[in-house]
Structure 1
Amino acid sequence: MRIKNFLFQSFAQVFFPVFLVLFFIASVVIFIRIAGVTFVVKISFLELLTLYFYTLPMMLFFVIPLSFFVACVFGLSRLSFDYELPVLFALGMPPKQIIKIFSPIALLASISLFVLSLVLTPLSDIAYRQFLEKRKSSIGINLQAGEFGQKLGEWLVYVQKSKNDTYENVVLLSLQKGENSQKDGLIFAKEANIDNIDGLMEVRLQDGEVYRKVSDGMERISFDTMILRYAVDFTDDGNMGLVEYWRRAFYENARQDKTRRNLSMYVLLSLFPLISLFYFPLLGVKNPRYQKNYTILQTMGAVGVFFALMYLMATYAPLIGTLLLSIAWGYGGYFLYKRYVARFY
């Protein structure tokens, strides 16, 4: 019991700082992503927090296994180079005792990840889509004067001045490709008003000119009033249930490949703590007298290899690849553990 508490304490001292750092980095990335939505669409601070909380399950799902793997390896490595693990081995504790001690917490981590990935993440994704569907019918436009790269449907928009809901000296550029060359166009207008009517974006332009490419050159058209309408696409993804969300991986539909890939990645990453049990002593147990501390590089290499294989299997063989990689990764760790750890301690 004392050895178990000793190892758990070493694990916790690494896990929580690593988890907080990764969680903070992931949160910054999520807020930057959400900021891309708020660049054009007006949302309140409460709605911004709502979008952030919808992404929490996915964020936790990727942060927890990384933190767990790093904490287990680094905790054992620190004990090795502090000569505490060699003392325990000298007193008769076999390396397999480490596996037995970490097995329950690895199982708990995998169960938690399965709940996050197969239940909470789809539910949060459905809720996120429902939120967007609701906002599509009442979107407020937030075009900034003097800013480049702003989009309104298929149009790039630049406005020189803005006051309330009126924009002055507006430029719209569309480079949408298609059989009809009229899809390309450049519009100048002295004034514009933009409204959203139940998801139908209406741009009313006043006193302007249109330049468009024709077969024999460029055509110029002057206008007093022009109305552009853009219908926001609605999907039914926000109305499906949890079972139907994953059933899409097993019958032909527009999102089958993506759902299969996500399902494979979620299962593999959920199993990661459990099938990596033998990698903890393999990478963490060192002889401080004869081995140098390359734990960071070795850990990064192991995680990088697993994530690369996971992506390849999930992309090209999502169903059979999930089973094969789980078995191969677990057996590979056991084989290396028996050869480089168990035979010496």
Structure 2
Amino acid sequence: MVNVKGYISSNFTRSFLTIFLPFFIIISLVFLVRIAALTSKIQIDFGELLLLYSYSIPEIVFYTLPLSFIAALANVLVNLSQGNELIALYALGLKSKKILSGLLLIGLLFSLLLTTISLLAMPLSKQFYRAFKEEKRNDAKLNIVPGELGQKFGSYYIYVKDKTEDTFQNIVIYNRTDKTNEQFFSSHTGKLNRNEDVTSLLLNDGYGYTYSEIKLQQAEYKTLEIFDNAKKKGFEFKSILSYWQEAQHNSKIMHKLLFFIFVSLIPVLSVYLVASFTMINPRYQPNRSFTVIFVSTLFFYAIASSLQKWGTLPILGISVIVIMILGQWLFKKRVSKYF
């Protein structure tokens, strides 16, 4: 019996990796594109891009693993059925429920893994991700692109015509202090200065203009230093316990918690449900694995989405119990009744 479980488990592992790895790579590319889009707001190098990607890995795994598990489970059971391997095991006196016990254990382990990722790893990784972005913004490491309009330094709008190494050339700065007062600066060269928490832009050889409703003032300067006076946001890390305790008075976090719990339970909940339609007699029953994968995935994620919008703990509990009963009933009616 141990060899049978090992054989089925090895088949499942090969099928799972064949499905999971392409999904993981595709979704990773989507996350990398999203991270790369941050370069329009903050300056990050390749190492920092990989660091941000590492913070996204728990989320990528969480969303790809349940779908991969359902697809692998359906494929391995259909392949074993069509190869008459399950029929041979039935002929040796092994019950279908006994054969499925190994996959049920794998589903339980996958659910435990997803629960750990969603309730422990994801809150931490999201906080690290947000803290990194806040730190970058507070350090004012802006990617000031020559020739691009609409860029900001603090509360100032800035335009740079060219850049040589760390020195900006032909700079124009505009600031509107209120409805009736505006400031305009132009400079031949400039450079960012960073001193601990203070960031400034040092301008060289230029002119400054101050305009109001009653007068226009002009000044020529050799050097002018403009400070980043934008209010800097701090970031406060929360422990895992305090993070989820907010669900008691924050419905958004409560709904997110319910969504995470249900999605984490998909592997163990899907075993009997999927097996009911994929443990087949190939002589009399057609292969409908793709339909089973699509309908099962749609079914589970429709419930998960509903819980995320208006779910409660009692509804979550009822949903889990109903799915377990439904899976057991279908499996008994369609499979264990005959095998």
- Shorter chain as denominator, the TM-score bin is 0.7 to 0.9
TM-score normalized by structure 2? Answer: 0.79
Contact 1:200–1:232 (8 Å) recurs in 2:
no
Cα deviation for residue 229 of structure 1 reads 5.5
AA in 2 matched with 1:302: S
Q: Which residue in the other structure is 1:299 paired with?
A: 293
Q: Which residue in the other structure is 1:215 paired with?
A: none
Cα deviation for residue 31 of structure 1 reads 0.9
Gap change, CA 1:145 and 1:311, over 3 Å in 2: same
Gap change, CA 1:34 and 1:81, over 3 Å in 2: same
Contact 1:155–1:173 (8 Å) recurs in 2:
yes
SS of the residue 1:145 aligns to: coil
Contact 1:248–1:259 (8 Å) recurs in 2:
yes
Cα deviation for residue 204 of structure 1 reads 8.7
Q: Which residue in the other structure is 1:166 paired with?
A: 168
Following superposition of structure 1 onto structure 2, how do residues 21-60 of structure 1 map, counting pairs within 5 Å?
Answer: 21-60=22-61
Cα deviation for residue 54 of structure 1 reads 1.5
Q: Which residue in the other structure is 1:98 paired with?
A: 99
Q: Which residue in the other structure is 1:234 paired with?
A: 233
SS of the residue 1:231 aligns to: coil
Cα deviation for residue 103 of structure 1 reads 2.3
1:89 aligns with 2:90: yes
Q: Which residue in the other structure is 2:334 paired with?
A: 340
1:16 aligns with 2:22: no
**CA RMSD between the two structures:** 3.8
AA in 2 matched with 1:330: M
Contact 2:273–2:326 (8 Å) recurs in 1:
no
Contact 2:200–2:226 (8 Å) recurs in 1:
yes
Paired with 2:13 and 2:150, the residues of 1 have a C-alpha distance of: 46
Contact 1:201–1:231 (8 Å) recurs in 2:
no
Q: Which residue in the other structure is 1:70 paired with?
A: 71
Paired with 2:243 and 2:161, the residues of 1 have a C-alpha distance of: 45
Paired residue for 1:258, among 236, 252, 263?
Answer: 252
Contact 1:77–1:295 (8 Å) recurs in 2:
yes
Contact 2:307–2:316 (8 Å) recurs in 1:
yes
Aligned length: 328
Contact 1:110–1:273 (8 Å) recurs in 2:
yes
Contact 2:42–2:142 (8 Å) recurs in 1:
yes
CA deviations on 1:118-149 (whole Å, 9 max, x unpaired) are 11222222333333343333131113234578
Paired residue for 2:306, among 307, 312, 319?
Answer: 312
CA deviations on 1:188-217 (whole Å, 9 max, x unpaired) are 978787667777776799769999xxxxxx
Gap change, CA 1:235 and 1:269, over 3 Å in 2: farther
Following superposition of structure 1 onto structure 2, how do residues 274-289 of structure 1 map, counting pairs within 5 Å?
Answer: 274-289=268-283
Gap change, CA 1:133 and 1:9, over 3 Å in 2: same
1:330 aligns with 2:331: no
Same amino acid, percent of matched pairs:
29
CA deviations on 1:62-106 (whole Å, 9 max, x unpaired) are 222222222111111111122222232233322212332222222
Paired with 1:288 and 1:156, the residues of 2 have a C-alpha distance of: 70
Contact 2:131–2:235 (8 Å) recurs in 1:
no
| Structure number with bigger Rg | 2
1:137 aligns with 2:138: yes
Contact 1:14–1:75 (8 Å) recurs in 2:
yes
Paired with 2:96 and 2:210, the residues of 1 have a C-alpha distance of: 76
Paired with 2:195 and 2:89, the residues of 1 have a C-alpha distance of: 72
Gap change, CA 1:287 and 1:222, over 3 Å in 2: farther
AA in 2 matched with 1:320: P
Paired with 2:217 and 2:302, the residues of 1 have a C-alpha distance of: 56
SS of the residue 1:293 aligns to: coil
SS of the residue 1:166 aligns to: strand
AA in 2 matched with 1:60: V
Gap change, CA 1:100 and 1:157, over 3 Å in 2: farther
| More displaced 10-residue stretch of structure 1: 159-168 or 293-302 | 159-168
Q: Which residue in the other structure is 1:271 paired with?
A: 265
1:116 aligns with 2:117: yes
CA deviations on 1:167-192 (whole Å, 9 max, x unpaired) are 64769899xxxxxx95xx9x997878
SS of the residue 1:142 aligns to: coil
Cα deviation for residue 297 of structure 1 reads 2.6
Gap change, CA 1:234 and 1:88, over 3 Å in 2: same
AA in 1 matched with 2:241: V
Cα deviation for residue 249 of structure 1 reads 0.7
The answer for unaligned runs of 5 or more in structure 1 is 175-180, 212-220
SS of the residue 2:271 aligns to: coil
